[in-house]
Amino acid sequence: MENTEQYQLLHDKPDELLMQDDYQQVMKRVIYKFMKRGFFKGFSVEDLQQDLNIAFLTQKMAYIQKNYKPTDGLLISYFERAVYNKCIDISKLSMHQQEHRKEALEGYMIEPHSSNPETQLMFQEVLEEELRKFKDYLRLFTRTKFKLLLLLKLYARIVLEKEDVTNYCPKIAKPTLKEFLETYGVPYSNKKDKEVYREVIPIFNACDQKKNTADALRKWINDRTQELMEALNDGGKRTYDKEKLKNLIQLLPKSPFSKE
């Protein structure tokens, strides 16, 4: 179904659009993404999908009707972002995750888990605005975008996946990738910055065909994060420091370079 047809259905029969297989698969994909990162422990995919469908039928589809415009990109991409933000609202974080995400979810001007729908909507809009500014900054890095994203994930101590490395370095040797993920494909939040950069610099030098030092790599990403904080603080709803930036990085979608 073309985007124009979906847009018409959104206004004529939003419940029918929501129940289409493509939209339900998007919802499932977002749920799986959150579960893979440790959210929603003790919940089944079916239960979460049902909760999300109820939330969208009673509130979010009306919000999308009001705010989505075809010039914003594909409707299904807009819907995916709305599902992502709703998952943030209803997620029940473990104590370990709260240590890394508390500021990102509670440090805004309003409480994310308020039962007031208007307050929830305000939180979603604030978070969405700041994530959009973040992604706009990332898109400035045409040639080094995957390198930057990988380093930002290391900076925020995000557990890495195979694609995080192969998107940046497609020709990385399988044994090297396996060894790397044995360390950084599992939680590593206890590692100090110097230790991380010392361990990862051989891979970055091999992929970039350079002979940089670990300190040079650390300085490069620190300069980028400083630029990013300045961009976020310019007219933003709150002031970012290093820890708050790390929390926001953890809330990035898996493919922040896609145009939505």
What is the average per-residue pLDDT within 215-240? 82
Global pTM reads 0.54
Structure tokens at 180: 């790397």
- Beta carbons within 8 Å of 60's beta carbon, 6+ residues apart: 82, 86
User: Measuring CA to CA, which residue among 52, 51, 159, 147 is closest to residue 97?
Assistant: 159
pLDDT at 47: 81
Tens of pLDDT, residues 144-191: 889 999 999 999 888 899 999 999 999 999 999 999 999 999 888 888
- Residue with the bigger pLDDT between 98 and 40: it is 40
Of residues 98 and 204, more confidence is placed in 204
The phi and psi torsions of 259 (rounded to 5 degrees) equal: -85, 125
Number of other residues whose CB lies within 10 A of the CB of residue 112:
21
pLDDT tens digits along 120-157: 454 556 567 777 778 777 778 878 889 999 999 999 88
Of the chain, the percentage scoring pLDDT greater than 70 comes to 81
What is the rounded CA–CA span in Å between residue 232 and residue 230? 5
Please report which helix (H) or strand (E) contains residue 45, including its range: helix 45-55
Q: Which two tokens stand for residue 45?
A: 């995919």
Q: Which two tokens stand for residue 88?
A: 């943030």
- Rg of the Cα atoms in the chain: 19
Q: How far is the C-alpha of 68 from the C-alpha of 74, rounded, in Å?
A: 10
What single-letter DSSP state applies at residue 72?
G
Do the Cβ atoms of 138 and 257 come closer than 8 Å?
Answer: yes
Measured distance CA(124)–CA(174) in Å, rounded: 40
Number of Cβ within a 10 Å radius of residue 187: 13
Question: CA 154: distance to chain centroid?
Answer: 14
39 or 63, higher pLDDT: 63
CB atoms within 10 A of CB 137: 17
Kindly tell me if the per-residue pLDDT of 85 is higher than 70: yes
Q: How many CB atoms lie within 10 A of CB 99?
A: 12
Share of residues in the chain with pLDDT > 90 (%):
39
DSSP states of 50-98 as a string? Answer: HHHHHHIIIIIHHHHHHH--GGGS-HHHHHHHHHHHHHHHH----HHHH
Per-residue pLDDT at 98 exceeds 60:
no
pLDDT top residue among 192 and 44 = 192
Q: From its phi and psi, is residue 181 left (phi > 0), alpha (psi between -120 and 50) or beta? A: alpha
- Over residues 226-255, mean pLDDT: 76
pLDDT at 241: 81
pLDDT, average across residues 48-66:
88
pLDDT of residue 95: 34
Report helix, strand or coil for 237: coil
For residue range 8-50, list pLDDT tens digits in order. Answer: 999 999 999 999 999 999 999 988 888 877 777 777 888 888 8
Check pLDDT > 70 for residue 255.
no
Location of structure tokens 């007219």: 235
8 A C-beta contact, residue 90 and residue 82: no
Q: Report the mean per-residue pLDDT for the chain.
A: 80
C-alpha dihedral (80, 85, 91, 96), degrees to nearest 10? 110
* For range 198-210, the mean pLDDT: 94
Q: Where are the domains of the chain?
A: 3-92, 145-249
Tokens 């129940």 correspond to what residue? Answer: 19
